[in-house]
Structure 1
Amino acid sequence: MMDHEKVNILLVDDQPAKLLAYEVILKELGENLVVAASGREALEILLKNEIAIILVDVCMPELDGFELAAMIREHPRFQKTSMIFISAIQVSDIDRLRGYEMGAVDYVPVPVVPEVLRAKIKVFAELYRKTRQLERLNAELEDRVRARTAELQKSTTQLVESEQRRSMAIAAGKMGSWDWDWLNGDWMWDEGQYRIFGVDPQSFEVTSANIEAQLHPDDVSDLRKAIAELTKGARSYEAEFRIYRRDGEMRWCAGTAAATIDKNGRVVRVSGVTVDITERKRAEERQSLLTREVDHRAKNALALAQSIVRLTRADNVKTYVNAVEGRISALARVHTILSLSSWQGAEISNLVEQELAPYSISGQIRLLGSEVQLQPATAQTLALALHELVTNSAKYGALSTLSGRLSIRWDVADDVLVLRWEETGGPLVQPPTSRGFGTRSLMASVESQLGGQALFDWRAEGLLCKLVIPLVGKMPMPELNERFSTVLSTGSPRRVSG
C-alpha cells in the first residue's frame, strides 16, 4: 500500500443526520468513507471489505457500540482494527474502561469538534498505511531471500550436473587414464594421469605402494575396498578420493574403474579414468557457504527489524514512527558500511562519523581514537547504541543547543573496547528518576548481546557515558572488570537508577 492510496473508514450510526455530518467533517481527508445505519449492517460491510478504522456511536438500538465492538473483536481479521467510540452522553470511567476492553482506541464526545475528529482519524489512517507498508516490505524481503536461495540451489545443482557431464571430456590436464595388469601388477599411466598426480614420468615409478602413498590417509581404505569388490566379482567401481601432490597441494579426484574378465571369469586387467574435480569441489563449498551466509544475514536483518518495531514505545503515532524510522535508518547505515567491506567488519571511526553526520557541521563534536575493526554483530549493536545516545543528546543534551559540546573517545586494551561519550555546555542535566526506553534498549543491547557494560553519570554539566565492550566474544564480568578496572573507576560513572 503506497502513501497516496486511500483506506476505508467505516462510519456506524443509526441517525442519518449524524452520518452525514461525519462524512462532511472527514471528506477533506480524501479517504474512502463507508456508512452503516446499524450494527448488523456494519458487520456485513466488514466481512466484505478491508476496513482501516471504525467510527461507531455508543448508543444505538438493537446492537449498541459496546456489543458491536465485542462481536468485531471475536473475528480474527478485526482483532487489531482501530475503533473510535462517539458518545452523546457523559461517559464515566467505568464506561471508558469497558470500551477500551472491547478494543476502542479512543473516545470522541458530542458535540464533535471537526478538527479533533479529523486529526484522530488521520493519525490512525497513517498508522494503518505504515503498518501495511511494513508488512508488505517484510513479505517482499522474505520472497527475495527465498528466491535467491532457490536460485543458488538451482545454480549448485546445474553446476554439479554440468561438471559430471564435462568430466568425461575435459581438456588435457583434467583427465587421465590408466591400466593395471591384475596378474603381474604392472601399471600404465598416460600423460594426463601423471599431470593430475603432479609427478614426473621420468622419475616416478608407478607401483601400487607409490600410488597408495599419494592418497589422503583417510581414502586409502576405499582403495583397498575397491580391490576387494573387484576380487569378489564386481565389474566396475566408482569413487571420489583425495591425493597429495609432491608440493603439498591436495586435489580432489573422481575415479572410474572397469574390470576385464577371462573366459574363466577371473579378473586379468583393470582399466580406469581419473578426473581432477578440485575446482568443482571448491565451487560446491563456495555455493554452500554463500547460501548459508545469505540465509544468516537475511534472518538477522529481519530479527533486528522485528525487534525494533516490537520494542519501540511512544506516546503517539508520530513519535512512534519517528523512533522506528530512526532506529531502522541507523541499522541501514551500518549495513551499508558492512556491505562495502563484504561483511568483513566496520571501522569504528566510520561508524561513529556516520551516526553523527547530521550534527558534524556545527563544530560541536570532537572525536579521538585509533582505528578499530569491529565484527559485524558488534558493529550493528554499537550503531544502535550510538543512535540512542545521539537522539537523546539532540533532544535534551549538548546537541540540543549551539553552546553544547560532545567529546567521543575510544581506546582498546586486552581485547576490550571502551568508548567514552562526554557532553558539556548543554542544558542543566537532572538525573532521571527512571530508565527511559532508549536507555533500557541501549543497556540491553550492549550487556545482553555483546556481554559488555553501559555506565552512565548524569552530571549537572552534561551526560558522561562509558560503553565497555569485549571484542573477542563475551567474557565473565569479573574478568571484564579486572581488565579495565582502572578505566572503569575513572570519573566514577554509575548506572542509571530506577
Structure 2
Amino acid sequence: MDHEKVNILLVDDQPAKLLAYEVILKELGENLVVASSGREALEVLLKTEIAVILVDVCMPELDGFELAAMIREHPRFQKTAMIFISAIQVSDIDRLRGYEMGAVDYVPVPVVPEVLRAKIKVFAELYRKTRELERLNQELEDRVRARTAELENSTAKLRESEQRRSMAIAAGKMGSWDWDWISGDWMWDEGQYRIFGVGPESFEVNPANVQALLHPDDVDQLRKAIAEFNKGTRAYETEFRIVRPDGEVRWCVGTAAATVDDSGRVVRVSGVTVDITERKRAEERQNLLAREVDHRAKNALALAQSIVRLTRADEVKAYVIAVEGRINALARVHTILSLSSWQGAELSKLIDEELAPYSLGGQIILAGPEVQLLPATAQTLALALHELFTNSAKYGALSTRSGRLTIGWQVEDQLLTLSWEESGGPLVMTPKSRGFGTRSLLASVESQLGGQAQFDWRAEGLLCRLKVPLTRKTATAAPGKFDAPSSAELQRASG
C-alpha cells in the first residue's frame, strides 16, 4: 500500500511559532494544517480528518486545556492524539489535568526539533496503523460465517495490538514489550532494545538481566510494580533510570497494563518505555540557567548600585558622565563574557574594548601573552582598566598627544602581573585623596580577588602595578560569580 499522508493540526495564537512548527515538521511529508485559535481549530476538526493535534497550552480566549476538553466530548475525536506544548514549567497537577483532558504527551519550550518530529511521526504512524487495522477488521467481519475460527484468532491479536497502541499513545511510544506472567517469557521490540543499549543477539530478556540494567536506586520500582499487579492493579506508570552496558545513564518513563483471564488472574503484562533523557537534561539546563541569570543579575545590580551611590562629582553633568562610563565598562565586559557563554574572557580583548573610544594611534603600546580570565576576574579588571584609562585621558599621558602609555602583563605560577606605565604627559603630583575610581579599584582587586594594587605617582607619569591570582577560590566558585565591593571595603581601601 502506498504511503498515505495524514493531517496534522498545529494550534497556536502566535504566527511565528506556527511557522517554526511547520519548518520542523515539513520533512515528515505529512499534511500540515494550521489554526491560530481554539475556535478555528474546532472548525477545522469538523471539516477535516485529523491524525495528531499539536496545541499550545497558553492561548487567549480558549486555552489548550479547554480546547482538549471540547474535542474529547465529540465521539469522532475521543482517540485523537493531542500533544501539549508548554513554555512554562508545568506541575504534576497540570500534567494530570492535561492527561485527563486527553493529552498524550507534553513538549516543553524550547522545542527540540528532533524530539518533536519523532513524537509526531510515531503518532502519525499509529494513526495509519489504526486505519489499516480497522479496514482489516472490516474484511474479517465480512468473512465471519466462513472462517469463524480464524476470525476469533485474528480478533484476539487485534485486541492485543489495540491495547499496545493505546498505551503507546498514553506514553509517547518509543519501545514496547510483553511479559507472559504465567510462563515468564518476554518480548521486546527494536525500540526497547535500543533504549537499553543492548541487542537481541547478545541479550536474553529475563527479570534478572533487566534488573541488572536498572539504576541501583530505582530497582525497587520494578519490585513495586510486580507487587502492585499481584494486588490487582491493572495499570502502572513510573519514571526510572537505566545504566547501559557502556555506563551511560538514561532516564525513562514506563507505562504497563495487565491482561487478566476470566477469573481475574493476571496472565500478561504489556508496556511502553519512553526515553526522556533529553527532556530531563533540558529541564536541568533550564533550571541551572535560571539560577545563573538570577545570580548574575543580582551581582550586576549590586555593582551598579555601588557605582551610583559612591560616585562623586561637583556637577550633575560630570556625575552622569562618570556613572555612564563605569556602567558602560561593566556592559562591555558582560558582552564579552556572554559571547563565551560565561566561560571567561581574553585580557587583550578587555584592553581593546577600553581603549577603543580613544583612537590614539601609536600612543599606546601593548605587550603580553594570551591570558584567559575567569568571569569574576574579567569583571574586576574591566572596571579597573576603565578607571585607569579615564583618569589618564583626563589628567595623565592620554590627555596630550605627546603622552605615551605602555601596558604590559605576564603570568607566572598562576599570578597575573599587569603594569601600567605613563610618560610624556603633564607633570604628575601625588593626589591628596583618592577618588571613587582608585578606591573601587583597590577594594575590588585586593578584597574580591585577593590581589595587590600599587600606585607610584612619579612626576613623569603614573606607574601602576596590579597583581591578581588567576586561581583564587573566590574567583572560581561558580561561573559568573562576582560580588560588588561593599561600602566598608571601599572605606578601608581609601584609608
Q: What is the rounded CA distance, in whole Å, between the counterparts of 2:246 and 2:455 in structure 1?
A: 59
Q: Secondary structure at the match of 2:471?
A: coil
Once the two structures are superposed, residues 378-426 of structure 1 have per-residue CA deviations (whole angstroms, 9 ceiling, x without a partner) of 2122111111111111222211222221111111122221111111222
> How far 1:183 moved relative to its partner?
2.9
- 1:19-418 maps to which residues of 2 (within 5 A)? 154-157=87-90, 164=105, 171=122, 175-418=174-417
> How far 1:265 moved relative to its partner?
4.1
**Cα distance 1:409–1:250, how it changes in 2: closer, same or farther (>3 A)?**
same
Aligned Cα root-mean-square deviation (Å): 3.0
CA contact (8 A) 1:253 1:278 kept: yes
CA contact (8 A) 2:423 2:461 kept: yes
Q: What is the rounded CA distance, in whole Å, between the counterparts of 2:210 and 2:301 in structure 1?
A: 52
Q: What is the rounded CA distance, in whole Å, between the counterparts of 1:354 and 1:168 in structure 2?
A: 47
> How far 1:232 moved relative to its partner?
3.0
Look up the match of 1:461: 460
Q: Secondary structure at the match of 2:417?
A: strand
Q: Secondary structure at the match of 1:384?
A: helix
Q: What is the rounded CA distance, in whole Å, between the counterparts of 2:106 and 2:418 in structure 1?
A: 57
Once the two structures are superposed, residues 433-462 of structure 1 have per-residue CA deviations (whole angstroms, 9 ceiling, x without a partner) of 332222111111212222222111222222
Q: What is the rounded CA distance, in whole Å, between the counterparts of 1:163 and 1:379 in structure 2?
A: 48
Q: What is the rounded CA distance, in whole Å, between the counterparts of 1:309 and 1:431 in structure 2?
A: 26
Letter of the 1:405 partner, please give it. Answer: R
> How far 1:304 moved relative to its partner?
2.4
CA contact (8 A) 1:456 1:496 kept: no
Q: What is the rounded CA distance, in whole Å, between the counterparts of 1:467 and 1:440 in structure 2?
A: 14
Q: What is the rounded CA distance, in whole Å, between the counterparts of 1:163 and 1:402 in structure 2?
A: 72
Q: What is the rounded CA distance, in whole Å, between the counterparts of 1:400 and 1:413 in structure 2?
A: 33
- 1:1-16 maps to which residues of 2 (within 5 A)? none
Once the two structures are superposed, residues 267-290 of structure 1 have per-residue CA deviations (whole angstroms, 9 ceiling, x without a partner) of 332221111222222222232233
Letter of the 1:396 partner, please give it. Answer: Y
**Cα distance 1:330–1:277, how it changes in 2: closer, same or farther (>3 A)?**
same
Look up the match of 2:424: 425
Q: Secondary structure at the match of 1:206?
A: coil
**Cα distance 1:367–1:496, how it changes in 2: closer, same or farther (>3 A)?**
farther
Q: Secondary structure at the match of 2:204?
A: coil
Once the two structures are superposed, residues 55-78 of structure 1 have per-residue CA deviations (whole angstroms, 9 ceiling, x without a partner) of xxxxxxxxxxxxxxxxxxxxxxxx
Q: What is the rounded CA distance, in whole Å, between the counterparts of 1:373 and 1:153 in structure 2?
A: 39
Q: What is the rounded CA distance, in whole Å, between the counterparts of 1:321 and 1:497 in structure 2?
A: 23
**Cα distance 1:282–1:299, how it changes in 2: closer, same or farther (>3 A)?**
same
CA contact (8 A) 2:225 2:236 kept: yes
> How far 1:236 moved relative to its partner?
2.1
Q: What is the rounded CA distance, in whole Å, between the counterparts of 2:328 and 2:319 in structure 1?
A: 14
Once the two structures are superposed, residues 81-131 of structure 1 have per-residue CA deviations (whole angstroms, 9 ceiling, x without a partner) of xxxxxxxxxxxxxxxxxxxxxxxxxxxxxxxxxxxxxxxxxxxxxxxxxxx
Look up the match of 2:15: none
Unaligned 5+ segments in structure 2 are: 1-84, 108-117, 126-171, 476-491
Q: Secondary structure at the match of 2:87?
A: helix
> How far 1:474 moved relative to its partner?
4.3
Matched residue pairs, number? 329
Once the two structures are superposed, residues 157-186 of structure 1 have per-residue CA deviations (whole angstroms, 9 ceiling, x without a partner) of 499878825898763996122122223322
Once the two structures are superposed, residues 241-299 of structure 1 have per-residue CA deviations (whole angstroms, 9 ceiling, x without a partner) of 12223333332211011223344444332221111222222222232233333333333
Look up the match of 1:436: 435
CA contact (8 A) 2:405 2:421 kept: yes
Q: What is the rounded CA distance, in whole Å, between the counterparts of 1:202 and 1:400 in structure 2?
A: 79
Q: What is the rounded CA distance, in whole Å, between the counterparts of 2:463 and 2:344 in structure 1?
A: 27
Q: What is the rounded CA distance, in whole Å, between the counterparts of 2:270 and 2:86 in structure 1?
A: 35
Q: What is the rounded CA distance, in whole Å, between the counterparts of 1:332 and 1:165 in structure 2?
A: 38
**Cα distance 1:163–1:287, how it changes in 2: closer, same or farther (>3 A)?**
farther
Letter of the 1:469 partner, please give it. Answer: V
Q: What is the rounded CA distance, in whole Å, between the counterparts of 1:334 and 1:393 in structure 2?
A: 20
Q: Secondary structure at the match of 1:164?
A: strand
Q: Secondary structure at the match of 1:309?
A: helix
CA contact (8 A) 1:244 1:250 kept: yes
Calculate percent identity across the aligned residue pairs. 74
Letter of the 1:430 partner, please give it. Answer: M
> How far 1:464 moved relative to its partner?
1.4
Q: What is the rounded CA distance, in whole Å, between the counterparts of 2:255 and 2:474 in structure 1?
A: 52
Q: What is the rounded CA distance, in whole Å, between the counterparts of 1:196 and 1:220 in structure 2?
A: 17
Q: Secondary structure at the match of 1:285?
A: helix
**Cα distance 1:153–1:297, how it changes in 2: closer, same or farther (>3 A)?**
farther
Q: What is the rounded CA distance, in whole Å, between the counterparts of 1:325 and 1:295 in structure 2?
A: 23
CA contact (8 A) 1:451 1:474 kept: no
**Cα distance 1:197–1:442, how it changes in 2: closer, same or farther (>3 A)?**
same
Letter of the 1:386 partner, please give it. Answer: L
Q: Secondary structure at the match of 2:357?
A: helix
Length-normalised TM-score, structure 1: 0.60
**Cα distance 1:284–1:184, how it changes in 2: closer, same or farther (>3 A)?**
same
**Cα distance 1:153–1:262, how it changes in 2: closer, same or farther (>3 A)?**
closer
Matched, 1:473 2:472: yes
Once the two structures are superposed, residues 171-205 of structure 1 have per-residue CA deviations (whole angstroms, 9 ceiling, x without a partner) of 39961221222233221222221222222222221
Unaligned 5+ segments in structure 1 are: 1-151, 477-494
Q: Secondary structure at the match of 1:358?
A: coil
Q: What is the rounded CA distance, in whole Å, between the counterparts of 1:199 and 1:232 in structure 2?
A: 32
Letter of the 1:335 partner, please give it. Answer: H
Q: Secondary structure at the match of 1:363?
A: helix
Look up the match of 1:5: none
Q: What is the rounded CA distance, in whole Å, between the counterparts of 1:475 and 1:458 in structure 2?
A: 31
Higher relative contact order (CA 8 A, sep 6+): 2
Once the two structures are superposed, residues 25-74 of structure 1 have per-residue CA deviations (whole angstroms, 9 ceiling, x without a partner) of xxxxxxxxxxxxxxxxxxxxxxxxxxxxxxxxxxxxxxxxxxxxxxxxxx
Q: Secondary structure at the match of 1:238?
A: strand
Moved more, 182-191 or 361-370: 182-191
Structure 1 or 2, whichever has the larger Rg, is 1
CA contact (8 A) 2:420 2:463 kept: yes
Once the two structures are superposed, residues 198-225 of structure 1 have per-residue CA deviations (whole angstroms, 9 ceiling, x without a partner) of 2222222111111111112221122122
